[in-house]
């Protein structure tokens, strides 16, 4: 059977020890350039945007939602309670209090058609 131990003098010659592990100080490759760029952008944004700025943005978004801006409403609700699942049976009951809408969120596990036993 051939010797399967990594060669210390192969293509990575001086960067590996006798067991094939990287030696201390190995640069470890170039990494992900896009991730570095994204991290630099995030760092700059976090440095530029302060908590008071975020509060002002949220107040402006709430004001637009209160004024009837549907996109602002959607953004607020998505951020506060998460994106909606599949709504089933979205109905308004005429005999209920005005403005009350009953609905049930159904995820993949709740869908009777997706159950192995058929429901």
The reply to whether 68 falls in a domain is yes
Residue 100: give the domain boundaries. 85-119
The reply to whether 17 falls in a domain is no
- Cα Rg for the chain, rounded, in angstroms? 28
| Its pTM surpasses 0.75 | no
Whether 91 and 108 map to the same domain: the answer is yes
Weakest-pLDDT range from 3-17, 48-62, 88-102:
88-102
d(CA 11, CA 56): 57
Whether 76 and 92 map to the same domain: the answer is no
The reply to whether 75 falls in a domain is yes
pLDDT level of residue 25 (50, 70, 90 thresholds): confident
Whether 74 and 100 map to the same domain: the answer is no
| Predicted confidence (pLDDT) per residue in 65-119, tens digit | 999 999 999 999 888 887 777 555 555 555 555 555 555 555 555 555 554 554 4
Weakest-pLDDT range from 6-10, 40-44, 75-79:
6-10
* Overall number of domains in the chain: 2
């Amino acid at each position: 059977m051939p010797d399967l131990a990594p060669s210390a003098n192969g293509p990575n010659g001086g960067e590996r020890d006798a067991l094939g592990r990287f030696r201390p100080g190995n640069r470890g490759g170039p990494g992900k350039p896009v991730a570095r760029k994204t991290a630099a952008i995030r760092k700059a944004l976090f440095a530029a945007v302060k908590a008071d700025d975020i509060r002002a943005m949220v107040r402006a978004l709430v004001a637009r939602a209160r004024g009837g801006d549907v996109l602002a409403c959607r953004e607020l609700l998505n951020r506060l309670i998460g994106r909606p699942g599949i709504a089933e049976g979205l109905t308004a009951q005429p005999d209920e209090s005005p403005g009350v809408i009953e609905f049930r969120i159904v995820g993949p596990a709740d869908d009777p058609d997706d159950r192995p036993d058929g429901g």
